[in-house]
Structure 1
């Protein structure tokens, strides 16, 4: 499988996760998101995406679970009432796994759906 973005072919694994995280940019994110049924990426989406990328790239490959994502997004979005349901509205298949896919990160090895 591969994505075509701005005339460039972006290679992926069989599940649609990028082979090379350096191929990622916001245009790639939009193409992946569209394929995932997330038709519009808002600032809130990019808050989660940028957090996931930062954790992976700058924290030894860390792929945070839902609890940690919610905790971080409460601070980033300055919304003390934010919960996992709010994040599932952004990424319906799973904020941690679907969000990571759209963020161009490797497929998570943690157990769980998606």
Structure 2
């Protein structure tokens, strides 16, 4: 596969469909994963996805809850940002669904703050 474009079918995933190697992720893979999830990605979707990747990769594998997502992203968001807006983008849960599309391991954290 060296030098070739990887597709979702080429990538190793766990039983829940999460990528086993987050380094194999790119935006094209994110689009393919979002289609499996039945959602369309927007610029705001990618803001959250890139935030989650940055937190995981550069902040000791941190996987923030929805409250911390809103707190961190509100200044860079068009309009008012609340947890509701995150669920509009990722109806199955911003932490789990956006994390999956971001190529991150499945979060083991339970809901709540």
TM range (shorter): 0.7 to 0.9
Alignment of 1:1-114 (within 5 A): 5=7, 9-38=10-39, 40-77=40-77, 79=79, 81-112=80-111
Work out which structure has the larger RCO, using CA pairs closer than 8 Å and 6 or more positions apart in sequence. Answer: 2
In 2, Cα distance between the equivalents of 1:111 and 1:88?
16
* Structure 1 residue 78 displacement after superposition: 5.2
> Which aligned runs of 4 or more in structure 1 are off by greater than 2 angstroms?
none
* Structure 1 residue 96 displacement after superposition: 1.1
C-alpha distance after superposition, 1:79-112 (max 9, x if no partner): 4x21111111100100111000000000111124
C-alpha distance after superposition, 1:9-63 (max 9, x if no partner): 011000000000011000100011110111x211100000000000000000000
Partner of 2:11, secondary structure, is strand
In 1, Cα distance between the equivalents of 2:76 and 2:53?
14
In 2, Cα distance between the equivalents of 1:99 and 1:33?
9
Task: Name structure 1 gaps, 5 residues minimum.
Answer: none
* Higher share in strand: 1
TM-score, normalised to structure 1, is 0.87
TM-score, normalised to structure 2, is 0.88
* Higher share in helix: 2
Q: CA RMSD in A?
A: 1.5
Aligned length, in residue pairs: 106
